Amino acid sequence: MPVKTVTVRVPAKVNLQLSVGPREADGYHNLVTVFQAISIFDEVTVSLREPNSGISISISGDHTHGVPADSNNLAVKATELIASEYDLDVDVHIDIKKSIPVAGGMAGGSADAAATIVAIDYLFSLGMNREEMSEIAAQLGSDVPFMLSGGTAIGTGHGEQLTPALSRGVYHWVLALSTVGLTTPAVYDECDRLRAGSEIAEPQTHEVLMQALLAADPKTVGASMSNDLQAAACSLRPALRLVLDVGQEYGALGALVSGSGPTVAFLVADEEAGLDLAVALTASGVVGSVARAYGPVGGAKVLA
């Protein structure tokens, strides 16, 4: 009896490091980034439909504003890509329950695409291995391969070429969420504008950060975090500077804009420190809402 529905849980991510090289001839930038998957999850449920009924999608949950409920959604694109690659007739309904902020620099759309790859593989018994899934994922976006694996990893190229990072310990995060997102292309364009005329080095891994992850030393991890897109995100959304300042004033070990923003990620010493900072940020009035999370966690996974 074939499986008729499957639910896959997939995490958000933060970037502990995001180093951005100069714009290349193809319009993209070479990156070195250190991803960590954290315990804020979307759930993607894929169900078989009647033959010849096509692909449909619905969105629910805490963060739905601006999420396309049509063929522009990466989950639909993932389904269409697999159908093409494997010569399948895929008639499914995709329901995405969103808890990952939209356009927040936490890879929510990429996460849903990764979850859909896992779900379609499971539903149609394709038997894809991780390498085959990653090849599909890389065609959909540079963050998608990491959302399959989760954990902590170094991304190079455009972020899609992954190497697992040697990391120990649990890291506690407080996330200051914005009500309005930033688009990744706009942030990269602003980064290029701000750096115009400057000599831009090819990105490298921060060795101090990597050693601190290996040593399970959150204080040094916090002090070593960096994001070359942060200045651009703050230029487009000046209020982010105040959020960064307030979080550090209230005891965060480190603070940075996650990815292309506008989510601000604060690393804290432990769960209690996270609760204290979340309360302080909420009381300060400088953030729309606050979430707490820990990492690293695993990537896209079928729920039993």
Catalytic residue IDs? 13, 143
Asked if 236 contacts 194 with a C-beta cutoff of 8 angstroms, the reply is no
Interatomic CA distance for residues 217 and 213, integer angstroms: 6
Contacts with 62 (C-beta within 8 Å, 6 or more apart), sequence order: 98, 99
Structure tokens belonging to residue 28? 């993209």
Contacts with 172 (C-beta within 8 Å, 6 or more apart), sequence order: 218, 267, 268, 269, 270, 271, 273, 274, 292, 293, 294
Q: Of 82, 88, 91, 89, which Cα lies nearest the Cα of 113? A: 82
Interatomic CA distance for residues 223 and 254, integer angstroms: 6
Q: Of 277, 228, 10, which Cα lies nearest the Cα of 117? A: 10
Containing 30, the helix (H) or strand (E) segment is strand 29-48
CB atoms within 10 A of CB 36: 28
Interatomic CA distance for residues 109 and 74, integer angstroms: 6
- DSSP assignment string, 113-133: HHHHHHHHHHHTT----HHHH
Containing 145, the helix (H) or strand (E) segment is helix 144-149
Contacts with 121 (C-beta within 8 Å, 6 or more apart), sequence order: 82, 127, 128, 133
Q: Of 31, 56, 158, 181, which Cα lies nearest the Cα of 109? A: 181
